[in-house]
Chains A and B, each alone.
Chain A
Amino acid sequence: GNSVTQMEGPVTLSEEAFLTINCTYTATGYPSLFWYVQYPGEGLQLLLKATKADDKGSNKGFEATYRKETTSFHLEKGSVQVSDSAVYFCALSAPSGGSYIPTFGRGTSLIVHP
């Protein structure tokens, strides 16, 4: 079956530091890959996505590249801000038996200190 593994947190950084959150996946076929962000007390929001190999998704300074050869979709940001503190979820979506059931990682908490 499909699975997503992301690094455990919390990840604690100082403002303006470089961020990497690792995500690897296992899937049959050619999944679409996503990063979602969840701020305290809110639902998940789509941060970025990539639908085929070598695609780069980007939004709000965050980037992730769909690497089929390493089955990875690592999230990066060059300079984090306190407002980036949240929980980040890596996810994939692939058709299975005619349905689309997303698979989510367990989430990585990011804490950014001033």
Chain B
Amino acid sequence: NAGVTQTPKFRVLKTGQSMTLLCAQDMNHEYMYWYRQDPGMGLRLIHYSVGEGTTAKGEVPDGYNVSRLKKQNFLLGLESAAPSQTSVYFCASSYLGIGYTFGSGTRLTVV
């Protein structure tokens, strides 16, 4: 099915470990976004990309890095995980802001 695929779906990290979350979309969308969702905080934008090879900071970028080497993929990296990064992470893509398609999320726990 066409859409946005996130991997992995669940992950437990120890403090200080690193990991990469992968987002892949097959709709040829230019825009891709990474959000985190925490109870009572709604969705907060971490980083976004307006096209292949471009990235930009969102509302809460500290502690995260991203890369968009291919149009269909948007990677979110945590270099040194902290308990404050325990959250549910969502990737989304869009064609010129007409609508946003979300992945099913990655539930990350940092212990």
- Complex Cα distance, B43 from A95, in Å, reads 19
- Complex Cα distance, B50 from A108, in Å, reads 29
Contact A44 B102 (CB under 8 A): yes
Contact A107 B48 (CB under 8 A): no
A-B contact count (CB 8 A): 59
Contact B56 A46 (CB under 8 A): no
Main secondary structure of the interface of B (DSSP, over half): strand
Complex: chain A residue closest to B51, CB-CB: A99
Which of B33, B41, B58, B100 is close to A46, meaning CB atoms less than 8 Å apart? Answer: B100
Contact A93 B97 (CB under 8 A): yes
Given known A-B contacts A42-B105, A100-B31, A101-B48, A107 and B100 have beta carbons under 8 A apart: no
Instruction: Decide if A32 is an interface residue (CB 8 Å cutoff).
Output: yes
- Complex Cα distance, B98 from A14, in Å, reads 34
Task: Note all chain A residues with C-beta closer than 8 A to B33.
Answer: 101-102
Given known A-B contacts A43-B105, A44-B102, A102 and B42 have beta carbons under 8 A apart: no
Contact B99 A46 (CB under 8 A): yes
- Complex Cα distance, B45 from A90, in Å, reads 15
Contact B100 A34 (CB under 8 A): yes
Contact B104 A42 (CB under 8 A): yes
**A43-B4, A101-B48, A101-B58 known; 19 other A-B pairs, CB under 8 Å?**
A34-B100, A36-B102, A43-B103, A43-B104, A44-B92, A44-B102, A46-B100, A51-B98, A89-B42, A93-B97, A95-B97, A99-B56, A101-B33, A101-B45, A104-B42, A104-B43, A106-B40, A106-B41, A106-B42
- Give B residues with C-beta under 8 Å from A: 4, 31, 33, 40-43, 45, 48, 50, 56, 58, 90, 92, 94, 96-105
